[in-house]
Amino acid sequence: MENIHPMFVHFPVSLLLLYSLLEIIRFKKIHGEPYWFYVKAVVLFAGALGSIATYLTGETAAGLYDGPVPQAIESHSNFGLATVIFFCIMAVLYLVGWLRRKNYTPFQRWQFGQKIWEALVPFEKLLTESNFGIIVALIGGTLISITGALGGLIAYGPENDTVSRIIFETFFK
């Protein structure tokens, strides 16, 4: 079996880092524009969906690994899963925001679903309509960066770059 994980990894990483930057860097001219929410949402949705495929191919690739730092695989996998869950939760909240902005309320006939919807809306507003989104984006960007550094450590060894060397010496030596 061939390792296809490298073919999947860069697309969601770039999209999720782009989303984080779009959330962190707030230009007054475009931040208040109605379309800006949808731009960030599409980037986030694509990145979150891609991250699921990336994680699944990474789990397959872990069984094929015979490189220099095997103990880094579990850490990379754990950080990868945390990153996927983190951004998928954000994507769900953005989906709530998208539907709310289109005046669509799902689950109108299902009482339990309506309660879930009502519970999610305040979190969506906190994420998308306040500066709390900046903190969340910083956390997400950090998760991606750590996951990527661990992946680089696995793929290229601890001497490839300064960050990989620091991670290796701090956690695996």
pLDDT tens digits for range 69-78: 677 888 888 9
pTM for the structure as a whole? 0.87
Query: Which pLDDT score is estimated for 161?
Result: 80
> Range of 153's domain?
5-172
pLDDT averaged over every residue in the chain:
87
CB atoms under 10 Å from CB of 141, counted, come to 18
**Residue 52: pLDDT band by 50, 70, 90 thresholds?**
very high
Calculated CA dihedral for residues 32, 33, 39, 40, nearest 10 degrees: 10
**pLDDT cut 70: percent of the chain above it:** 94
Number of structural domains in the chain: 1
Contact 107, 113 (CB under 8 A): yes
Q: CA nearest 150: which of 130, 127, 132, 166?
A: 166
Tell me the C-alpha distance between 171 and 173, whole Å.
6
